[in-house]
């Protein structure tokens, strides 16, 4: 017998169904949650050792899980790129895992998969890094593989040709990307093309085209030395085990005298503000970069700078993001940062803004840059300090996080105690400190302003603001003669 068909209308009218309807939800609260006081942060013990060949070892025992993260930091990056070979440091780092020891690129990938580990290589301005994540049971084999990549890369010609071709393609693609155009032009104008900070770590087409496999070998041979390196090991390993593992993998690594890096002259700071347009015809948005030369990582102003920048543009609730995104709806996001390097890195405020609001956005940027120079209200100062202190512990959640935090100290020769001093340092910052560093590093009357966008539509409006003289540059910061 067929089961009776139940009408959907009948079900809808059923008292049982009606009784199951959810209650009306309560209205959302418009009052933000109150930030609690930061709890004491106890960081894991960090132990230093040094191998006879000069390799520095930093070990952190974290025995909760049977995993270990290792980071080998070479104290050299693209600042050491020879003139005319810009991009060499990053290409060298990318080549390390394309063949090493007795394995080609495919065999390396298969071994990594077999061991169920992660191995990555890379380089930035002031360091090159090889990172490893492994279980404790495979750590010995994983470290031997890591050592092959660092000490015995083969730099196969075929893989070099492929990676160089991919780099050239990426550089070509940058020419159609407003944010990349603005980044390159801003750095070059602030520092000058001859300064390492004025160039991209990826290089330029002419430098990459002239690179050879021999250039890569030479860079590796010169800079990848144990007396120029730090090995960080964090996880389920004792100090004694770490020393044994490091000695077995890297004890035969030969030290050498390191080449000298020529000192680079920094372009003089702006005496006045100037607006530089990088033309991207028919662009739907304008890429803003405003700023100038900031501070080095070793600055005594580090903590006040962190507080000041967080208030200005270093968090989602910062002044720049609130004004340009939440209030004006000119952009999906705006912010600012200090790139703290061995020498004074740049201060940059940035946003990608709908093209029709380019002039309006610039006016708001200038208002906020001027406003941060005034005393920070006590409530805002307290909120920003609490935001930084409460969020700091997030950087130590995993073995990988801890290894990265330690590795980030290496290029600047900062003591390990730096990590434990953060919350107290932020706590000591006063409103007067913030106003002092804002007056020193945020200078609305002497800014480099780069805007990559549709010149035909944005130039007249930018000139009408009368904020600063306007000229046109290419994406490498060079002046463009226009009719």
**Domains and their CATH numbers in the chain:** 47-250 (3.30.830.10), 274-473 (3.30.830.10)
Helices 302-312 + 378-392 axis angle, to 10: 110
Question: What is the pTM (predicted TM-score) of this model?
Answer: 0.90
pLDDT at 3: 45
Work out the average pLDDT over 341-367.
Answer: 97
Task: Using the predicted structure, report yes or no on whether residue 20 has a pLDDT greater than 80.
Answer: no
CB 406 within 8 A of CB 417: no
% the chain with pLDDT above 90: 88
pLDDT tens figures, 308-351 = 999 999 999 999 999 999 999 999 999 999 999 999 999 999 99
pLDDT tens figures, 48-88 = 999 999 999 999 999 999 999 999 999 999 999 999 999 99
Counting Cα atoms < 13 Å in the Cβ hemisphere of 288 gives 31
Q: Place 22 in a pLDDT band, splitting at 50, 70 and 90.
A: low
d(CA 267, CA 380): 35
Q: Place 25 in a pLDDT band, splitting at 50, 70 and 90.
A: low
| H-helix or E-strand spanning residue 48 | strand 47-50
Q: What sign does the CA torsion over 463, 467, 471, 473 have? A: negative
Best CA proximity match to 322, nearest among 32, 20, 25, 34:
32
Best CA proximity match to 307, nearest among 384, 242, 361, 230:
384
d(CA 42, CA 244): 28
Work out the average pLDDT over 447-472.
Answer: 98
């Amino acid at each position: 017998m067929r089961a009776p068909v139940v009408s959907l209308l009948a079900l809808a009218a059923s008292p049982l169904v009606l009784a199951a309807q959810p209650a009306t939800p309560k209205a959302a609260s418009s009052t933000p949650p109150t930030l609690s006081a930061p709890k004491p942060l106890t960081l894991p013990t960090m132990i230093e050792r040094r191998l006879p060949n000069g390799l520095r070892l930093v070990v952190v025992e974290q025995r909760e899980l049977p995993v270990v993260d290792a980071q080998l930091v070479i104290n050299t990056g693209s600042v050491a790129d020879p003139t005319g070979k810009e991009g060499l440091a990053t290409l060298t780092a990318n080549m390390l895992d394309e063949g090493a020891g007795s394995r080609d690129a495919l065999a390396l990938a298969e071994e990594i998969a077999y061991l169920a580990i992660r191995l990555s290589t890379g380089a930035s301005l002031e360091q090159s890094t090889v990172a490893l994540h492994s279980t404790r049971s495979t750590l010995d084999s994983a470290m031997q593989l890591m050592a092959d990549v660092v000490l015995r890369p083969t730099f196969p010609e075929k893989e070099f040709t492929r990676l160089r071709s991919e780099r050239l393609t990426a550089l070509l693609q940058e020419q159609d990307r407003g944010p990349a155009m603005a980044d390159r032009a801003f750095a070059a104008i602030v520092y000058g093309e001859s300064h390492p900070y004025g160039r991209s770590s990826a290089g330029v087409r002419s430098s990459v085209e002239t690179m050879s496999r021999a250039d890569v070998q030479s860079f590796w041979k010169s800079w990848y030395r144990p007396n120029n390196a730090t090995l960080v090991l964090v996880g389920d390993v004792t100090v004694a085990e770490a020393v044994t593992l490091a000695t077995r993998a890297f004890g035969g690594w030969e030290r050498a005298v390191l080449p000298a890096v020529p000192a680079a002259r920094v372009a003089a700071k702006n005496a006045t503000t100037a607006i530089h347009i990088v033309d991207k015809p028919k662009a739907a948005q304008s890429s803003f970069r405003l700023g100038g030369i900031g501070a080095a990582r070793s600055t005594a102003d580090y903590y006040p700078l962190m507080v000041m920048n967080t208030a200005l543009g270093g968090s989602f609730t910062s002044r720049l993001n609130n004004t340009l995104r939440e209030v004006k709806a000119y952009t999906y996001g705006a912010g600012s940062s200090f790139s703290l390097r061995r020498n004074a890195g740049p201060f940059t405020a940035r946003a990608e803004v709908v093209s029709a609001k380019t002039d309006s956005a610039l006016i708001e940027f200038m208002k906020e840059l001027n406003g941060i120079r005034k005393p920070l209200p006590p409530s805002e100062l307290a909120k920003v300090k609490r935001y930084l202190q409460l969020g700091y512990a997030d950087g130590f959640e995993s073995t990988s996080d801890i290894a990265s935090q330690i590795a980030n100290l290496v290029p600047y020769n900062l003591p390990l105690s730096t990590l434990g001093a953060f919350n107290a340092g932020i706590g000591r910052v006063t409103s007067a400190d913030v106003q002092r560093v804002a007056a020193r590093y945020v200078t609305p009357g002497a800014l480099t302003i780069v805007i990559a966008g549709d010149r035909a539509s944005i130039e007249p409006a930018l000139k009408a603001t009368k904020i600063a003289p306007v000229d046109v540059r290419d994406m490498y910061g060079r002046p463009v003669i226009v009719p």
